[in-house]
């Protein structure tokens, strides 16, 4: 009897280990980083075509999760060629000297339900700031899907200098939205 109970217990334990999937294989083709902002009161949006990300997330142990995302700023799509060129220029991202923007998580907090709070460091154009990103997690088939958004002030990172420094034409607030799909190995 004791033996059977032990065997049962160990299979149960094994089963939970197997269930506690760690999502760590980012599916680039099902992931997206977009942004939106106001231009003279008009909502505008765009996205970044190229970025790489590493993450590990186990719903059973969210505190142990970590994420790092690197965005190729020159891959920006503002909706017009002229806009893309301008965004890469010195006054905006200065992609020659600062080709990437980087986010690296420092702590993940579970807020209950499927909501989490990811604290981390965001580096754009040589300036690093602490940010807290609200995110949600959803299981879709055998993949995990992370969604979230963060509003930053472009002025904090000197994005838009010179004639663009004022916020009357292009607003200071920029909302960054991400949608990242990862599978477990």
Partner 1 sequence: MSAQYTATAKALHWGIAVLIFGMLGLGFYMTGLSLSPTKLQLYSWHKWAGVTLFLLVVLRLAWRFAHRPPALPRHMAPIERFAAHAGHHLLYVLMFAIPLTGWLMSSAKGFQTVWFGVVPIPDLLDKDKALGDLLQTVHLSLNFALIAVLLGHVGAALKHHFIDKDDVLTRMLPHRLH
Residues 6+ apart with CB under 8 A from 89: none
| Residue nearer to partner 1 on the CB measure, 66 or 164 | 164
| Residue nearer to partner 1 on the CB measure, 62 or 83 | 83
Contact pick of 58, 70, 72, 86 for partner 1 (by CB under 8 A):
86
Closest CA to 75 of 115, 33, 40: 33
Considering the complex, what minimum distance in angstroms separates the CB of residue 82 from partner 1? 5
Q: What is the 3-state secondary structure (H, E, C) of the chain?
A: CHHHHHHHHHHHHHHHHHHCCCEEEECHHHCEEEEEEEECCEEEEEEECCEEEEEEECCCCHHHCEEEEEEEHHHEECCCHHHHHHHHCCCCCCCCCCCEEEEEEEEEEEEECCEEEEEEEEEECCEEEEEEEEEEEEEECCEEEEEEEEEEEHHHHCCCCHHHCCCCCEEEEEEEEEEEEEEEC
Q: Is 49 in the site for partner 1 (CB under 8 A)?
A: no
Contact pick of 11, 27, 43, 52 for partner 1 (by CB under 8 A):
43
Q: Is 83 in the site for partner 1 (CB under 8 A)?
A: yes
**What residues form DSSP beta bridges with 148?**
135, 178
Contact pick of 79, 119, 134, 153 for partner 1 (by CB under 8 A):
79
| Residue nearer to partner 1 on the CB measure, 46 or 62 | 46
Binding region for partner 1 (CB under 8 A) out of 8-16, 77-85, 136-144, 177-185 = 77-85
Q: Is 90 in the site for partner 1 (CB under 8 A)?
A: no
| Residue nearer to partner 1 on the CB measure, 68 or 88 | 88
Binding region for partner 1 (CB under 8 A) out of 49-57, 79-87, 120-128, 137-145 = 79-87
Touching partner 1, residues 162-181 (CB under 8 A) = 163-164, 166, 168-170
User: Which chain residues interact with partner 1 by CB under 8 A?
Assistant: 39-45, 79-80, 82-83, 85-86, 163-164, 166, 168-170
């Amino acid at each position: 009897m004791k033996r059977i109970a032990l065997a049962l217990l160990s299979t149960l334990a094994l089963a939970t280990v197997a269930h506690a999937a760690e999502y760590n294989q980012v599916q680039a083709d099902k992931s997206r980083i977009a942004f939106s902002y106001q231009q003279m009161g008009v909502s505008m949006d765009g996205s970044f075509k190229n970025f790489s990300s590493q993450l590990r997330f186990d719903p059973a142990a969210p505190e142990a999760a970590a994420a790092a995302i690197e965005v190729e700023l020159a891959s920006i799509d503002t909706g017009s060629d002229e806009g893309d060129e301008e965004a890469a220029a010195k006054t905006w991202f200065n992609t020659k000297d600062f080709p990437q923007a980087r986010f690296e998580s420092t702590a993940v907090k579970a807020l209950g339900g499927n909501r989490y709070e990811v604290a981390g460091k965001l580096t754009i154009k040589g300036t690093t700031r602490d940010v807290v990103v609200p995110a949600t997690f959803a299981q879709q088939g055998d993949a995990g899907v992370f969604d979230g958004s963060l509003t930053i002030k472009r002025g904090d990172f000197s994005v838009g200098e010179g004639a663009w420094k004022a916020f009357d034409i292009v607003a200071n607030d920029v909302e960054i939205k991400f949608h990242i799909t990862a599978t477990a190995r």
